[in-house]
Amino acid sequence: MDANGRLVCNERIRTDVRDIGHFFERIGTNDELKVVMEATGFYFWIYDVVKEREHDVIVVHPSAAKPLMKRTKNDKNDAYMLAKLLRSGSLESIYVPSSEVREPRELTRHRESLVRKKGDLKREVLAHLLQKGVKVPGEYHTNFTQKHIAWMRSMDDFVLNDRLDVPEAIAEKIVKVEGTIKERHGTDEEVELMRTIPGIGLVTASVIKAEIGDITRFSSSKDLAAYVGLTPMTYQSGEKEWGGHTRPGNNRIKHVLIEATLFHFHYCPDSKISRYYSGKKDSIGNKKAIVAGGRKLMEAIYFMLVRKQAFHAH
C-alpha cells in the first residue's frame, strides 16, 4: 500500500529468506518504506531478515490488532487491514527483544518447559497407582522422596518402573540446563544484583532478567509492575468498589516472583517488604497481601537495576 492508500500488491510469500528478499526487490525500497507484521510464534527470524534490509518494522500483538480488524478473517484481509492501520498511524509496536536477550530467554523457558513436563509425568505415575488400587503406606506420605521412589521401584510393575525412568531423566536434563544458565549468565551484573535479595537465587534472577530484557524500556517501577501483571485496579459501580490485580502480564515473571516473595518473607522477615506484607494480610487477606508484597519486591528490583545498587532490607 502506498502513502495514498492505494493497494500496490497483495500476494502470498513463502516463509523463506530468498522469497522474502525477492519480494522486496520486486516492490522496490526507499527510506519511507515501513513493514508491519503480527507477533506469531516464529516471527523473530522474519523480523531479523527485514531489519537487515534496514526497513522500519512494526510488530503488533494479535490481541491488540484484533479489535481493529474485520470479522471475516483470512490472510489476505488481515494483511490489507494491517497495512491500512499502519498508514493511519493506529498501530503501536511491541517490544522486540534483541538476539542477546532471546538466547537467555530460550534457555530459561526451556528449563521451565522441562520442569512442567516433569510435574506432568509425576502426576501420571500417581494416577497409575490409583488405577491399580495401590495404597501408599503411611511412611511414604511425601511423594517422590528417595524412600517413596524406592518403594515404587520395588513393585513388580514394568509400566510403573518405566514411567519412573522418564521424570528422572528429565531431572538430569534440568540440572544440565541450570548448569548452562550458571555458566553463561551467573556473572551477569543484573543477575548478581538481584541475588542480593534474600529469597532470590540464580534461576529466579535469570528468569526475571531474561523476561525483562532491557530495564530502561520501562519508564517507572509502575510500568514494570504492570508488565508483570501486578498493578492494582479498582472498579466502581454506584457505591460499591471491587479491587484486584490486572490479569494480563508476564506470567513467567509473576510465577517466580511470587515464589521468591514467599521465600523472602521467611529469610528476611524484618525487611520493608516483609513488614508491608505483615501489615496488609489482616485487612486484605493473606493471598492478596502476598501479591501486594510481590509488587513491592518487583518495584525494589526495578530501582536496584536502574541505579545498579544491591538490595537494602531497611
Q: What is the 3-state secondary structure (H, E, C) of the chain?
A: CCCCCCCCCCCCCCCCHHHHHHHHHHHCCCCCCEEEEECCCCHHHHHHHHHHCCCEEEEECHHHHHHHCCCCCCHHHHHHHHHHHHHHCCCCCCCCCCHHHHHHHHHHHHHHHHHHHHHHHHHHHHHHHHHHCCCCCHHHCCCCCHHHHHHHHCCCCHHHHHHHHHHHHHHHHHHHHHHHHHHHHCCCHHHHHHCCCCCCCHHHHHHHHHHHCCHHHCCCHHHHHHHHCCCEEEEEECCEEEEEECCCCCHHHHHHHHHHHHHHHHHCCCCHHHHHHHHHHHHHCHHHHHHHHHHHHHHHHHHHHHHCCCCCCC
Helix axes 272-284, 286-307, angle to 10 degrees: 150
How many whole angstroms from its chain centre is CA 103?
A: 14
pLDDT of residue 140: 87
pLDDT of residue 81: 85
CA–CA distance, 272 with 293 (Å, rounded to integer): 10
pLDDT of residue 242: 37
At 63, list the grid cell. Answer: 490481541
143: left (phi over 0), alpha (psi -120 to 50) or beta: beta
CA–CA distance, 54 with 33 (Å, rounded to integer): 10
Q: What is the CA radius of gyration of the chain?
A: 25
Q: pLDDT tens track of the chain, all 314 residues?
A: 888 888 888 888 888 888 888 888 887 767 778 888 888 878 888 888 888 887 888 898 877 767 666 665 677 788 888 888 888 888 888 888 888 899 999 999 999 999 999 999 999 999 999 999 999 888 888 999 999 999 999 999 999 999 999 999 999 999 999 999 999 999 999 999 999 999 999 999 999 999 999 999 999 999 999 999 988 653 333 443 334 555 568 999 999 999 999 999 999 999 999 999 999 999 999 999 999 999 999 999 999 999 999 999 88
pTM, two decimals, is 0.83
pLDDT of residue 13: 83
pLDDT of residue 38: 87
| Number of CB atoms found within 10 A of residue 178's CB | 17
CA–CA distance, 167 with 163 (Å, rounded to integer): 8
pLDDT of residue 8: 82
pLDDT of residue 243: 47
Nearest to 226 by CA among 298, 128, 174: 298
At 272, list the grid cell. Answer: 520493608
Handedness of CA 201, 202, 206, 209 (dihedral sign): positive
Instruction: Please name every residue paired with 241 in a beta bridge, in sequence order, or none if there are none.
Output: 236
